[in-house]
Amino acid sequence: MNTTSAILPTAPVQIAAVQMVSSTDVQANLAQAGELIAQAAAGGAQIVLLPENFYFMGVKDTDKVALREALGDGPIQSCLSNAARTHGVWLVGGTVPLVSPEPGRVLNTALVFDPQGLQVERYDKIHLFSFAKGEEHFNEARTIWPGEQTCAFASPAGRVGLSICYDLRFPELYRALGDCALMMVTAAFTYTTGRAHWELLLRARAVENQCYVLAAAQGGKHENGRSTWGHSMLIDPWGEIVAELAEGPGVVLGKVNPARIIEIRQSLPALQHRVLR
């Protein structure tokens, strides 16, 4: 029986999700992110995931456009590179606003840095959030240029697939990532949508792909008046929550255990039973 050992680590690997309540002060956000990355590394994490928009939560959606950076150049990327190198971790930098083909919009990009601080992978958010209910109105397409390609990379925890926030509602994206030991979700779910669907969707993605899911979220009341759901968590391939932080800044620690993945895939070989591919 195929246990997909090629995508698995050889031993359990400690990983971490950072939760924040980012403000309109970029420098303060970067400083707090650095402190939380250090906390995760001190807890033994080899891979650290930051939340979406960790660097900034503006008053207006257009505020982030003024902070856009060219790939490989800018203070946000420098902060991530330095943190990865300083602490010797693989760092998935939440999202960074990169220059897009249209001046009025940015790419909402998750960048991966290796323990030497080198940027080795990128994922541009594909699905753009739109929601209207009562006084809540969101339309990311006004300020974000959509990505086109999925992204997975080799890490100490095995093959890791990347996704950003609203992507979580589209299971076909996770199927397109292929066979992974770990899938990551960096997010800033609203309080309304998070309370209704966050845990349900995360656990579904873990169960249907029989892999670990690590989710890093914004979690609390922001300076700009927005409320985010939080509940950063690690979920195992059976859909069980391994660790969780409800709200406020902090770190969620847990392990990717290859034996757990193999056990579940052998006892319930659902991935091998797929007919539509």
Give the residue numbers marked as catalytic: 52, 125, 165
3-class SS string, 136-183: EEEEHHHCECCCCCCCEEEECCEEEEEEEHHHHHCHHHHHHCCCCCEE
CB distance 97 to 57 below 8 Å: no
How many CB atoms neighbour CB 277 within 10 A? Answer: 4
Local structure of 219: helix, strand or coil: strand
Local structure of 108: helix, strand or coil: strand
CA gap 171, 149 in Å, rounded: 15
Q: Strands 13-19 and 47-49, how do they pair?
A: parallel
Q: Strands 152-155 and 158-164, how do they pair?
A: antiparallel
Q: Which of 226, 241, 214 is nearest to 129 (CA)?
A: 226
Q: Which of 120, 118, 121, 114 is nearest to 91 (CA)?
A: 114
Cα atoms in the 13 Å half-sphere on the side-chain side of 30: 14
For residue 213, give the H/E element and its range. Answer: strand 212-217
CA gap 22, 31 in Å, rounded: 11
| Ramachandran quadrant class, 164 (left: phi over 0; alpha: psi -120 to 50; beta: rest) | beta
Identify the bridge partners of residue 227 per DSSP, sorted by sequence position.
221
